[in-house]
Amino acid sequence: MEAEKVLEEVINDILQTGLIVTATKGHGKSNAVMHLARLFRQKENVHLKIFDTCLNWRFKFDSIPYIESENIIQAIPEVKDILIDVPYSDTMLTYLAITQIIMSEYEVKKEIKKALEGQNPYWNVYIIEEIQNIIGRNSFRGEGGRFWLKFVSEGRNFGMSYIGITQRLADVDTRIVERCKGYLIGQLIGDNDVKKIRRVCGEQIAELVKTLKVGEFIYYNGEKRKVYQIYFPKFVQQGKPEPYKEPKNGKIKVTKINILGR
């Protein structure tokens, strides 16, 4: 099958099943997801939010508005695609910021679906770097933890999906791993990481991922019963991210959030 058709299948699958991207350090996880993000941006019915916890995207992705981390305390502008800097050194601040933004939009999408009598007019896709800090074994506390389990299981009912990137799959909560149906897996060598892949994807894939070269990934979708091997070349930047600027008329909808009661 042609590479373009495979990638089109993959991004359509992601809307329905989500995606966890995992590989060892330096294998090209963010590089691969940048290719997917570019394809999503070409779809008018997909709104993309990229949570850049590592400042990878800010300097390497295409032309896209970005908002600084200190400004997310006030509001997130409702534009089609936006890059959000969340480079907190405190993982709890990162967890709270990302969780509250998505929780707020989850409520908005429920109201939209009610108003449109069951229709979702567009998809929200969230790309999250270092997702083990958000849905990790030690992150699932109280309301936030319950929300993430619900979001991963039921978000597609409201036109919401996600791509989570991690080099430490073993640290991602097992309940999330079991609920996620889509995986993009690069080389893994850690025993605990391979063990989780074996449990979800089977022995053959668990052995195969040990041999992958930089840029090579196995796409596995348990719900769609698909397995592809995909090579992602080095991402070539088109333009560069620029600071978000309000329209000259000053009128723009926002999603308000509140972090740590501020």
Has residue 248 got a pLDDT over 50? yes
Q: What is the mean pLDDT of residues 159-173?
A: 94
Is pLDDT of 231 > 80?
A: yes
- Let me know if 245 is exposed, middle or buried by CB neighbors in 10 A (0-12, 13-18, 19+): exposed
Residue range 172-216, pLDDT digits in tens: 988 888 888 999 999 999 899 999 999 999 999 999 999 999 999
What CATH number should be reported for the domain whose range is 3-245?
3.40.50.300
Give the three-state DSSP class for 3.
Answer: helix
* Residue 167 contacts residue 183 (beta carbons within 8 Å): no
Helix/strand/coil for 193: helix
156 pLDDT exceeds 60?
yes
Does position 160 have pLDDT exceeding 50, yes or no? yes
User: How far is 14 from 120, CA to CA, in rounded Å?
Assistant: 16
pLDDT score, position 90 = 82
Break the chain into its structural domains and give their ranges: 3-245
Mean pLDDT (the chain) is: 88
The predicted model scores a pTM of 0.91
pLDDT at 36: 98
